[in-house]
Amino acid sequence: QSTSPQLDNEDLKQIDGNDLKEIDLRWQMDMLTMRARRFLQKTGRNLGDNRVTTMGFDMSKVECYNCHRKGHFARECRSPKDTRRTVAAEP
């Protein structure tokens, strides 16, 4: 028996094929669990959660593309449309 952490061919031959499949399935499940936990830690959103997830905006940080004031979106803007758009000059 070798002292390396890797399994060599002789060691693999001693393990039953069904046991290898079970080990592989457990490994895949562990990897998926680790990825899901990492995703939850990074985003704060649980993928396995079946509730409706609504995405909210902090309206104090949102800037209108029309009047450039904070607190609303351009579609909700009551000021006249921005006329500073560049229009191609007629030849």
Q: What is the mean pLDDT of the chain?
A: 79
Kindly state the helix (H) or strand (E) to which residue 23 belongs, with its residue range. helix 17-43
More confident residue, 15 or 88: 15
- Cβ(73)–Cβ(62) below 8 Å: yes
The pTM score is 0.41
Residues of the chain with pLDDT > 70, as a percent, come to 73
